[in-house]
Structure 1
Amino acid sequence: MSLDNNRNTLAWHETLEVHELVASQAIGLMKLKAGIKNVRDSQLKRIYRKSIQELEHNIRELVQYYPSAPIQPQREEPRQDQSGFQAGELLSFCKASVRNYAIAITETATPVLRQTLTNHLNRAIKSHGDIFHYMHSKGYYPAYDLGMLLKNDLNNAERALTMPYE
């Protein structure tokens, strides 16, 4: 991996985008690896395997950019408690819900449906805030400490990449 000749570090906003991708893909990878054993259809199982391999490839490529982040994360021993992972999974779901409802609202012409979706969006925003504040208070999401945030990403990425499946 080589950065632009004029820069040897990522910009802050690029770093945060890479963080979002690594964080969500690591959670998705762990979910796929945990769930593949329950897939009975052989064609679907092949698709799961391919998705697992693609996510592993993506994560490996993205974590190569972490040494170029404006703050250098240090790896540490991952926590044994599953609460951080479970909370991250819910946070990821809530964030996707907010995005999905916001997009759906822009496609809605019927006023009563638009209001229903707006109500759902507001509940999704509240749920996202609730889980974010829980994670932040427990130290699972150090949103104001980029070094810790990236360190958590590397730990979760390593956990996802080394997690056995099948």
Structure 2
Amino acid sequence: MNQPKTLAWHETLELHELVALQSTFLYKLKKNVKMIQEEELRALYIISIQALERNIKELIMFYPAAPGMKDLRISEEEVFLASDLLGTAKVAVRNYAIAITETATPILREVLTRHLVAAIKWHEQVFLYTYKKGIYPSYDLQQLLMNDLKLANAALAEDY
């Protein structure tokens, strides 16, 4: 069977999620490692940084095969900060949803459910901001991928 010249839409979206999240983590790790004095923890951060750099470099090699790429210009810092906030809100929703499935105590389940609803509303606010600003153009795959590349390249270029 011949290799397709273009990635499928569903795998492109998974690629986007992996690159965007890992780029945000990489950027944060590189900023934080500068403050770490304890040798063993610093070494763990450096190992993590190197692993994420390898992952991102390998994954972005597939971006040219994504369905129809085009260029987009947005501030790297704005993309990073908004993406970090969006990723944090998304993780909060997932974590609360998982916690509820593990909860046996009714009063705790009520509190977690209330927090989950608040997290969903928070995520919506952040998503709407990122969508309006063109940082997370969820209906334009090419722009979304270009933002990923911008974020990934900024994270890879950051010194540590």
The TM-score, its normalising length taken from structure 2, stands at 0.94
Percent same amino acid among aligned pairs? 52
Q: Could you list the runs of 5+ residues in structure 2 that have no partner in the other structure?
A: none
1:13 & 1:73 partners in 2: Cα distance?
A: 19
User: Equivalent residue for 1:126?
Assistant: 121
1:42-94, Cα deviation, whole Å (9 max, x unpaired):
000000000000000000111011111122244x56526x3332121111111
Structure 1 runs, 4 residues or longer, greater than 3 Å off: none
Q: Give the length in aligned residue pairs.
A: 160
User: Equivalent residue for 1:79?
Assistant: 75
Which of 9, 12, 17 is matched with 1:12 structurally?
A: 9
1:105-162, Cα deviation, whole Å (9 max, x unpaired):
1111111111111111111111100001011111211111111110111111111111
User: Equivalent residue for 1:108?
Assistant: 103
1:132 & 1:14 partners in 2: Cα distance?
A: 22
Q: CA RMSD in A?
A: 1.5
Answer whether contact 1:33 1:163 (CA < 8 A) is retained. yes
Deviation at 1:7? 2.4
The TM-score, its normalising length taken from structure 1, stands at 0.90
Q: How does 1:15-30 map to 2 (within 5 A)?
A: 15-30=12-27
Paired residue type of 1:151: M
User: Equivalent residue for 1:152?
Assistant: 147
Which of 63, 77, 94 is matched with 2:60 structurally?
A: 63
Paired residue type of 2:109: R
